[in-house]
Structure 1
């Protein structure tokens, strides 16, 4: 039957089919129980019917004399009178009769006692069977874990220490008493363990706080206890007190060397900046900054120290540490070590404030201030440029362009060559928002320093750039997908592109 789910194949999972079988089994068990009840009722009815049939048969077979009790009662009465007459006339028989009555009473009492004792015995046997069944179920219970000898000994001691002896009737109450005692001890032990855990974690946290370098990667939790104990074992086996003298020797030599190296680095970096500025100034001295009919001026860059408070304090700390480098005083060495550690921790910190401080004290470029001084041919100072303050936009642009060209000139070949070792300078979107005066000024600056300019610029700057170029090409892009290049000839004598006249006119109109 395709509708019978019992014969369905369910692939790799038969849980639904098993549930169906269990449901059917429960339904069949209910039917069987109902049928057994009906069979029992029918059996009882059949027994009652059979008893009635027997009684009926017995009544059918009875004779009248069997049910006529009057003659029998009369005969019994006659016999009783004869017995009384015999007993009254015979003392011995009367005594025997009295003894018989007494014995009957004794037998009756003994029979009652026997029945009571039998009932009590059967009750005791029932309780014994019940306890044996309970004991067997407990012994066969798989959830009960067998006790170890130590656990068994501990439980025996606890039950022996109780005030009442262990009996079957008070066993449950004694078990509850022992359980309460055990639970109280467990609670006290857990509280003690929690206090110990907090104490240990506080010690771990203090170690992490006091020795962050040694505790790097460790958490102040019990899970990291093996790592902490491994460090403790290493500290105990290393024998640090035996190496104390070696520690002070390294503190004197290594810290002195490292601090001296750091101080030398700062001094050399400052010296290098000054030397580089001398070379840049040599480059600036070769090219006029401003030219007119009456005067020719040159630009020089004068570096000076900014005297920053953080830098001054940092250098003072280094000098103070170096001044006590060779002292034999152990207390002074300890305090010097703590000062060095604070300095190293601040230098290695990743906090934003410390990172800003580290950048400020180690970047020597930020320690310097650069002032531009414009002088004439005789060395007389004409103008001072301090970060472009108070100057017009054109002056600031010219100053920045001149410094950029001089720096490039220094980086790309120094001053001993006629032209830079690498002369091309590529400018994309060149002079897009600059006016014609600044465009000509910038091109003159780069030309005077010997650079070859390759510029990509809009059409409006063509007229201004013509005197400075030796060739050009026009690039057009259609629909942002198709590009084309048109080469344009250059007239070197006239210094302008060979473009149609109307193109020059359009360019002139755009520039103007």
Structure 2
């Protein structure tokens, strides 16, 4: 694959685009795209060839190519005649591969036709081939005959017939021959009986000798004299445990059976033990490999790991090196790590956890302090009328189980300082460490839970209570605004937000009123409020002595008219230009009807 970086800026070239129809680049159709200009320039600079089979034109052109692949580039001529280089299956231009697919399909159909023709020819000559194979066998047999006498059987038949006739004539010519034949048969019969007796005696002798040899061999194999008492007890225990049936042999045959049973039991036991050993070796090699090549997390945490195991291979021969490494870690590095861990636990971890818990508690106290501070300006803000009331915020520790368990877990991880300092048992410190690790792991793995339990605002539940302005008696209690209307929710929002503004800028603090900035902007202030709540908003801003900029449609401005000192009316002309009219209230009242008519026309 070759990748070209395309510069999409304008391209310039000093090469002129040829007009000849035989120019190679005029035979290529280019699509319109962001890369066309770049492609045209590269075709002009690299492939500005003249296509011709006329050698005079070929030699008079600086760049030319013939239909059989001869290339000319100024003084360089090149031709590649390797088989298949100009095959159409390798080179084909176009916007898609339809023509290539059609060409390959045509080639396939041609080859299939040729294959079918050859198959038919092969079927036609198959009988001839079979006949030739059969003749070949006969020819091979004939070629093995060296002379005619080997196949001339008639002469042997004639000789056999002549000898048979001579034997018959001898039998008829004398009685002595018949007598001799009878005596010979009698002697052969007696000789046969003697031979059978001899064979029986020889067989019995051979069997006795073999039995004697076996008994002597068994005696030699028994080495009972060198067996000690411990060995006898071990053999007895093994025979008893394995429940060998022929445990008390009385002769050599029974002893042989006993031996075979013990040998079979030992083979089974040895096979099981060998399999167990093989499994242990395989597991051990796997553990060694896992130790040499740990996962990326361990390598990131311990950068020196690879250096320590660099010369260790994943086989059983490395056990000795691993044992030496284990001793070094246990007797040297582990001691140092324990010392560093103790220092880290004493100086860093516990301090960090204690500071973390203290910070959370302080944040909780800050929230309670801020609520007390917000209640001061809230007493001066009228919340409801008839009778007049004001709000006071309240907070209580939440009863939610997740928060409660987190606070208990956090406290449990921080041990008593005196006990931790005087405790010498490593098990105690390890227990403290595991508690800390469990807490940190939970905080790292469960992000949603971490955000919830470490947000101190979730440690408290907030509510509000109304008090009468005159008698300061408690009234309606508000712990949830879910069932309230949008206007009621906005009333709570304005009251508490106003108290926050008053607290932050010292609205009610003596000596700070003239120094505080009290300018706010409210966009579409009355769009979702009923007239009563809208009236509350304007009176609320007046109580805080705020300078307010209200952005509202003309049909809602009547709510704000009693509280504002100026109007800035915006008119859009020709849907392109905006004009702002800055008016005093007197000027506004004079042009109010005109503005109202203008607004209705725009609608």
TM-score range, shorter chain: 0.5 to 0.7
Q: Secondary structure at the match of 1:497?
A: helix
* 2:131 equivalent in structure 1: none
Q: 40, 65, 72: which one pairs with 1:9?
A: 72
User: Aligned in 2, Cα 1:216/1:307: closer, same or farther, shift over 3 Å?
Assistant: farther
Q: Is 2:393 aligned against 1:301?
A: yes
Q: Is 2:504 aligned against 1:411?
A: yes
Q: 342, 349, 352: which one pairs with 2:438?
A: 342
CA displacement at 1:302 relative to structure 2: 0.8
> How many residues get paired?
323
The normalised TM-score by structure 1 is 0.54
Q: Secondary structure at the match of 2:391?
A: strand
CA displacement at 1:412 relative to structure 2: 3.3
* 2:577 equivalent in structure 1: 482
Q: Secondary structure at the match of 1:498?
A: helix
* 2:315 equivalent in structure 1: none
User: Aligned in 2, Cα 1:229/1:411: closer, same or farther, shift over 3 Å?
Assistant: farther
User: Aligned in 2, Cα 1:332/1:269: closer, same or farther, shift over 3 Å?
Assistant: same
CA–CA distance in 1 between the matches of 2:85 and 2:388? 111
Q: 352, 372, 386: which one pairs with 1:258?
A: 352
Unaligned 5+ residue runs, structure 1? 25-192
Aligned partners of 2:486 and 2:528 also within 8 Å: no
Q: Is 2:368 aligned against 1:274?
A: yes
CA displacement at 1:479 relative to structure 2: 5.7
Matches within 5 A, 1:11-90: 17-19=79-81
User: Aligned in 2, Cα 1:330/1:463: closer, same or farther, shift over 3 Å?
Assistant: same
CA displacement at 1:424 relative to structure 2: 1.0
CA–CA distance in 2 between the matches of 1:291 and 1:301? 19
Residues 262-294 of structure 1 show CA distances to partners (whole Å, capped at 9, x for unaligned) of 1111110011001111121111112221233xx
CA displacement at 1:6 relative to structure 2: 7.2
User: Aligned in 2, Cα 1:229/1:23: closer, same or farther, shift over 3 Å?
Assistant: closer
CA–CA distance in 1 between the matches of 2:598 and 2:289? 80
Structure 1, 417-426 or 358-367: larger mean CA deviation: 417-426
Q: Secondary structure at the match of 1:315?
A: helix
User: Aligned in 2, Cα 1:244/1:501: closer, same or farther, shift over 3 Å?
Assistant: closer
Q: Is 2:565 aligned against 1:470?
A: yes
* 1:71 equivalent in structure 2: none
* 2:488 equivalent in structure 1: 395
User: Aligned in 2, Cα 1:196/1:419: closer, same or farther, shift over 3 Å?
Assistant: farther
User: Aligned in 2, Cα 1:225/1:317: closer, same or farther, shift over 3 Å?
Assistant: closer
* 2:318 equivalent in structure 1: none
* 1:132 equivalent in structure 2: none
* 1:457 equivalent in structure 2: 552
Aligned partners of 2:464 and 2:478 also within 8 Å: yes
Matches within 5 A, 1:357-368: 357-368=449-460
Aligned partners of 1:463 and 1:508 also within 8 Å: no
Q: Secondary structure at the match of 1:19?
A: coil
User: Aligned in 2, Cα 1:11/1:360: closer, same or farther, shift over 3 Å?
Assistant: farther
Give the CA RMSD over aligned residues: 4.2
Residues 199-248 of structure 1 show CA distances to partners (whole Å, capped at 9, x for unaligned) of 4564478x659xx5x544899xxxx9847848x99x95982413423422
Matches within 5 A, 1:171-186: none
Q: 583, 588, 591: which one pairs with 1:500?
A: 591
CA–CA distance in 1 between the matches of 2:532 and 2:76? 87
Unaligned 5+ residue runs, structure 2? 1-54, 59-65, 87-280, 311-321
User: Aligned in 2, Cα 1:248/1:285: closer, same or farther, shift over 3 Å?
Assistant: same
Aligned partners of 2:507 and 2:544 also within 8 Å: no
Residues 121-168 of structure 1 show CA distances to partners (whole Å, capped at 9, x for unaligned) of xxxxxxxxxxxxxxxxxxxxxxxxxxxxxxxxxxxxxxxxxxxxxxxx
Q: Is 2:424 aligned against 1:331?
A: no
User: Aligned in 2, Cα 1:245/1:203: closer, same or farther, shift over 3 Å?
Assistant: closer
Work out which of the two has the higher radius of gyration on C-alpha atoms and give 1 or 2.
Answer: 1
Q: 535, 541, 556: which one pairs with 1:446?
A: 541
User: Aligned in 2, Cα 1:479/1:372: closer, same or farther, shift over 3 Å?
Assistant: farther
Residues 77-117 of structure 1 show CA distances to partners (whole Å, capped at 9, x for unaligned) of xxxxxxxxxxxxxxxxxxxxxxxxxxxxxxxxxxxxxxxxx
* 1:165 equivalent in structure 2: none
CA–CA distance in 2 between the matches of 1:387 and 1:11? 91
Structure 1, 265-274 or 468-477: larger mean CA deviation: 468-477
CA–CA distance in 2 between the matches of 1:406 and 1:344? 39
User: Aligned in 2, Cα 1:228/1:271: closer, same or farther, shift over 3 Å?
Assistant: farther
Which structure has the higher relative contact order (CA within 8 Å, separation 6+)? 1
CA–CA distance in 2 between the matches of 1:244 and 1:365? 39
Aligned partners of 1:460 and 1:507 also within 8 Å: no
Q: Is 2:377 aligned against 1:283?
A: yes
